[in-house]
Chains A and B, each alone.
Chain A
Amino acid sequence: MTVHIAIVGGGTGGTVLANKLAERLGPEIERGDVRVTLLNDGPDHVYKPVWLYVPFGQREPDDGRRPLEELVDDAVDLRIDRVTDLDTDAHQLQTRDGGPMEYDYLVLATGSTLEPERIPGLADGAHDYYSESGATALREELLSFTEGRIVLSVVGTPHMCPAAPLEFVFMVDDWFRERGLREDVEITYTYPIQRVHGNANIGEWARPIMDERGIEVETFFNAESVDPDAETITSMEGTTLEYDLLVGIPPHSSIDLIEEAGLGEDWVDVDKHTLEAEAADDVYALGDTAETGVPNAGSVAHYQAGVVGQRLANEVRGRPATATYDGKTLCFIETGMDSASFVEFDYENPPSPAPPSEKLHWSKLAYNEAYWLTARGLL
């Protein structure tokens, strides 16, 4: 009998996992004892961190795309198809083009979906850099922006890369300074809770830098609506801000079939150490779509893929699965156009941001290049 492992989602987590399984279970796959299928709804692997640099004209969206075929080990059966339904009792998936598919083990790595339409006016009134099309459209606006008020509003949490909104305002500030335009540009940052970041340590570190650099801050600001004609954004707390350029971090959600399959409200409820789904047997979730309480970050998806890879290899071989995820998160935080900080933390140890330096900025850029080795499972 062949054991079939199906991975849904060929982003960071799913691709790293597929390659790790190909490596760990190479002999079993060769003998036909194990089959690994990676399903993704498009032919390309998309590396989203590149989008942060697109609005500044520093990177092209294509720099963040590579065909999955080039990245995924030949031992993996790559299927370009969208999963549309899931029955965990029957161990069966439905796909858009290829019909039903049975699995013995399932891994959900379907990432985050943007839902700007949840806030009236947001889709029309705001730009973003959380999608390829958003980053490209924002570039058109930003490159020709010379005066006025830029508002960056974090509308939905959790969102991908919790540091990216801070990075964007730090970069915008520095970018206009370098070009001698900062005096003509106001920058306002809004955040839903009482500080500028979900994590208290990062919030306490970032706030004085924002104050020093004249980045205005509105906390307890939960966007309720945007009026694209009047160019205003209004919060549930009753504050209205005027803008000339609005950059919104839209609400995120998971894909519908997760809730429909009873795996959790929106995100998949998992044991935060084993990454096994709470509500179904033989199902794992990793990356953005797994509700672990750690940030939605590529580094998290990468580490979690290592854990799930090891657990699945053991399970297939009839050995106890012992690998666990300890909450490890690693993140570079750009603090300008040529300086960055760095944080590393886990479930037990809180982050402590490193002093910003040019070296850390170059480390971030180097990591972005080396990422393609990560996706292949080599780093």
Chain B
Amino acid sequence: MTDTDIAYDDTVDARGSACPGPLMDLIGEMRDADSGTVVRLLSDNDQSLTDVREWVEEAGNELLGVDEDDDYHTFYVEKA
């Protein structure tokens, strides 16, 4: 899944943060976000590729796209 043209409202830069830091940072941002808000998460932790997907599904939000780069991954999540 790669789509760099996705518009987003907020960014959570969790690069450098160890697991489960990036997911918790995303959850923290989504907690206060309004429905329809798109949050962009930057993470250099490979574990995020599984746990972010799992949580987004569990919470009923939508993963609009993921960019997997060599240095870090970018996730676009829309709040339900």
Contact between chains at B18 and A293 (CB < 8 Å): yes
Query: Is B20's CB under 8 angstroms from A222's CB?
Result: no
Contact with A along B8-20 (1 / 0, CB 8 A): 0000000001111
Q: Which residue in A158, A194, A200 is a CB contact (below 8 Å) of B55?
A: A194
Interface size class of A (residues with CB under 8 A): 10 to 19
Q: Tell me whether A318 is interfacial, beta carbon within 8 Å.
A: no
Q: Which residues 176-226 in A have Cβ within 8 Å of B in the complex?
A: 192-194, 198, 200, 220, 222, 224
By the criterion CB–CB under 8 Å, are B59 and A237 in contact? yes
Q: Is the CB of A236 within 8 A of B54?
A: no
Task: Annotate B46-80 by CB proximity to A: 1 below 8 A, 0 otherwise.
Answer: 00000100110011100000000000000000000
CA distance A238 to B51 in the complex (A): 18
Q: Is the CB of B20 within 8 A of A236?
A: no
How many B residues touch A, CB cutoff 8 Å? Answer: 16
Name B's interface SS: helix
Total A-B pairs in contact (CB under 8 Å)?
37
Residue A157 lies at the interface, judged by CB distance under 8 Å to chain B:
yes
B18 and A192 contact, CB distance less than 8 A:
no
Q: A193-B51, A236-B27, A236-B30 are in contact. Are A220 and B58 (CB under 8 A)?
A: yes
Q: Are A293 and B20 in touch, CB under 8 angstroms?
A: no
Are A238's CB and B60's CB within 8 A? yes
Say yes or no: A222 contacts B31, CB within 8 Å.
yes
Complex formed: what's the CA distance from A238 to B58 in Å?
A: 9
A193 to B27, CA, bound (A): 10
Q: Besides A220-B55, A220-B59, A222-B31, 13 other CB < 8 A contacts?
A: A193-B24, A194-B54, A194-B55, A200-B19, A220-B58, A222-B59, A224-B31, A236-B27, A236-B31, A237-B58, A237-B60, A238-B59, A293-B17
